[in-house]
Copies of this chain bind each other. A is one copy, B any other.
Amino acid sequence: MNRKPHVTLSDIAKQLNVSKVTVSKALRGHPDISRETTKLVKKVAEELGYTPNFAARNLSSRKSNTIGVVVPKIAHFFFSSLIESIYDQAFYNNFDIALTVSQENVERERKHIETLMAMRVDGLIISITQQTKDKTIFEKVVSRDVPLVFMDRVMPVDGTSQVTVDDKGGAIKAIELAIDNGYTKIAHIGGFTEINIGRRRYEGYVEAMKRRGLEIDPDWVVHGGFGEDDGYQGFMKLYKSGRMPEFIFAVTYPVALGVYAAAAEVGVRIPDDLDIICFGSASINKFLKPALSYVDQPTATLGKVAVDLIIEHIGESDEYLPKHIEVPTELVMRDTCLRKKNAVISSAK
């Protein structure tokens, strides 16, 4: 590989018989330089086809104007729309994004964080993997004074901020609605409780049951991952136990889909034999039969808030003040969890 040399500041400077600093300043609109000169410089830059060298700029200015992002997945509706909103908001604020994907792999996650730090990103937005337990790498980030915002899937690390959705509150709303609709035998196919989204949603389930004075049958709580297969397995476990609940609260949309698949397989009809609600959705949910009712995660807001927060931290001095922002959720009713069949409505809200 042996590329044509790129046009540099010096090339422009030579052409105009000025110093390269003049050119640099002119291009940045620095007030030191006269209107005329600035115009001239810009014209010549255009003619010569100048493009600034970011590596050089980053090196000398020792910042990258870039936000590093680490997510566990892309090809899932939740993350792809989250990422899209992050890109939008960053673009709006003239920041670049360096996106990396851990593929739910802790080692890859660590590597990506190292790489992003080597790129000297100005700040990091991270959504951890299902398996992440070790805080070391995050503490390393903090010790390097690189602002860090955890997003959605978070980890309690001193000196870092968090942006989450109101997982517990959303879960409570969902379960309370189910109970108000007449259900009492309510199961939860949940995620890992080591990670906040799994834990908080579970806590919401527990809390709502308690508030309404319902017992929780330990057999009706299944913990696992957040994918379709986990939902499938979860359902099968409940099914094979011989004691089916009337209602399932699924920790994620894919888990709910897994339940759909499993239920169809064994001939359990949704929502007639088994009703369901879940956390999260996908754009094509409306085409599902029955379309899932769900706790909406406002991905656009989540991404926007995360970017705004990291930019805020980047702007602050060394000692920025970590924050925890919780974005509210909303119940969206579709074809499930509408009303218990044959139920005597006691306390329709």
Q: With A73-B84, A114-B51 in contact, do A2 and B318 touch (Cβ < 8 Å)? A: yes
A317 and chain B: residue at smallest CB distance: B2
Does B55 lie within 8 Å of A59, measured CB to CB? Answer: yes
Does A80 lie within 8 Å of B87, measured CB to CB? Answer: no
The answer to the question of A115 belonging to the interface, with a C-beta cut-off of 8 Å to chain B, is yes
In the complex, what residues of B have CB within 8 A of residue A122's CB?
A: 1
Does A75 lie within 8 Å of B84, measured CB to CB? Answer: yes
Number of A interface residues at 8 Å Cβ cutoff, please give it.
65
In the complex, what residues of B have CB within 8 A of residue A283's CB?
A: 75
The answer to the question of A343 belonging to the interface, with a C-beta cut-off of 8 Å to chain B, is no
How many copies of the chain does the oligomer comprise? 2
In the complex, what residues of B have CB within 8 A of residue A314's CB?
A: 1
In the complex, what residues of B have CB within 8 A of residue A74's CB?
A: 74, 80-81, 83-84, 87
Stretch at the interface among A96-104, A214-222, A243-251, A321-329: A96-104
What would 8 A/B residue contacts be, using CB atoms closer than 8 Å? Answer: A1-B317, A49-B144, A52-B118, A54-B118, A55-B56, A73-B84, A87-B101, A98-B98
A79 and chain B: residue at smallest CB distance: B80
In the complex, what residues of B have CB within 8 A of residue A144's CB?
A: 3-4, 6, 49
A2 and chain B: residue at smallest CB distance: B318
Q: How far is the CB of A129 from chain B (nearest CB, A)?
A: 15
Q: In the complex, which residues 54-113 of chain A have their Cβ closer than 8 Å to any Cβ of chain B?
A: 54-56, 58-59, 62-64, 73-77, 79-81, 83-84, 87-88, 91, 96-101, 103, 108
A7 and chain B: residue at smallest CB distance: B144
Q: With A3-B145, A58-B55, A97-B99 in contact, do A75 and B64 touch (Cβ < 8 Å)? A: no
A115 and chain B: residue at smallest CB distance: B96
In the complex, what residues of B have CB within 8 A of residue A58's CB?
A: 55
CA of A140 to CA of B51, assembled, Å:
11
